[in-house]
Amino acid sequence: MSGRPAVFLDRDGVLNQSFIGTDGVPRPPAGLAEFAIMEGVAEACRRLGALGFLRIVVTNQPDVARGTQRREIVEAIHQRLREVVPVDDIRICYHDDDDLCDCRKPKPGLLVSAANDWGIDLAASFMVGDRWRDIEAGQRAGCTTILIDRHENPSLTLEPTVRVESLPSAVSWISERVARATGATR
């Protein structure tokens, strides 16, 4: 497929701070008061745009289906995200695993639907996430995968293309790949 390249970005733990629950599982912010963009994220997304990448957020928000979060809170968080970080689209799965939807990561539905709507070349695209679900979704969609590795992934069974410590580091790695690829075609 030919089309535009994109960088798919998980939200919690990649763009904004997530919180470790009492069960050891990362949790999204409960509301706008807890919502905090991570350092360097806005500039990293600007760099991606300058490199010619669409920036598509793909996020699971199952707390809505579970009844522990309201959809309007998630939408308010996304409005704030758009005000601070340059992104082209935000794709959300509000389902839980039991719903058996096609959009909940690790299934690639969010990425595939964005690719269809935006004319994205998945093979030329990247998935950046901090959990195994992100890596598996990216691999299933045919993207290069980048793990933001905070050493909190004991259940990671798939190896990403590369591990980095932050979104700015991921963007530097992508930039180097783009430079090598364009240098090789000259």
| Residue range 111-164, pLDDT digits in tens | 999 999 999 999 999 999 999 999 999 999 999 999 998 766 556 678 999 999
Q: Residue 38: is its pLDDT beyond 70? A: yes
* Radius of gyration of the chain, Cα coordinates, nearest whole angstrom: 16
What pLDDT is attached to residue 19? 83
Please report, for the domain that includes residue 32, its CATH number: 3.40.50.1000
> Domain range holding 101?
6-184
Q: Any idea which residues carry the catalytic annotation? A: 10, 12
Residue 158 falls inside a structural domain: yes
What pLDDT is attached to residue 127? 98
Residue 22 falls inside a structural domain: yes
Residue 162 falls inside a structural domain: yes
Lowest pLDDT segment from 29-33, 105-109, 155-159: 155-159
Residue 1 falls inside a structural domain: no
Residue 25 falls inside a structural domain: yes
Lowest pLDDT segment from 23-27, 48-52, 99-103, 163-167: 23-27
Instruction: Give phi and psi for 38, each to the nearest 5.
Output: -75, 155
Q: Please choose, from the candidates 61, 90, 91, the residue with its C-alpha nearest in 3D space to the C-alpha of residue 74.
A: 61
H or E element that contains 143:
none
**What residues contact 150, with CB distance under 8 A and at least 6 apart?**
13, 130, 165
pLDDT cut 70: percent of the chain above it: 95
DSSP 50-87: HTT-EEEEEEE-THHHHTSS-HHHHHHHHHHHHHHS--
3-state secondary structure of 17: coil
Residue 33 falls inside a structural domain: yes
pLDDT confidence bin for 82, thresholds 50/70/90 = very high
**Interhelix angle for 132-141 vs 109-118, to 10°?**
50
pLDDT confidence bin for 182, thresholds 50/70/90 = confident
Residue 106 falls inside a structural domain: yes
Residue 176 falls inside a structural domain: yes
Say if CB 8 and CB 114 are below 8 A apart.
Answer: yes
How many structural domains does the chain have?
Answer: 1
Q: What is the dihedral of CA 164, 167, 171, 177, to 10 degrees?
A: 30
**What residues contact 129, with CB distance under 8 A and at least 6 apart?**
9, 10, 13, 14, 105, 135, 137, 138, 145, 146, 147, 148
**What residues contact 160, with CB distance under 8 A and at least 6 apart?**
135, 138, 145, 146, 147
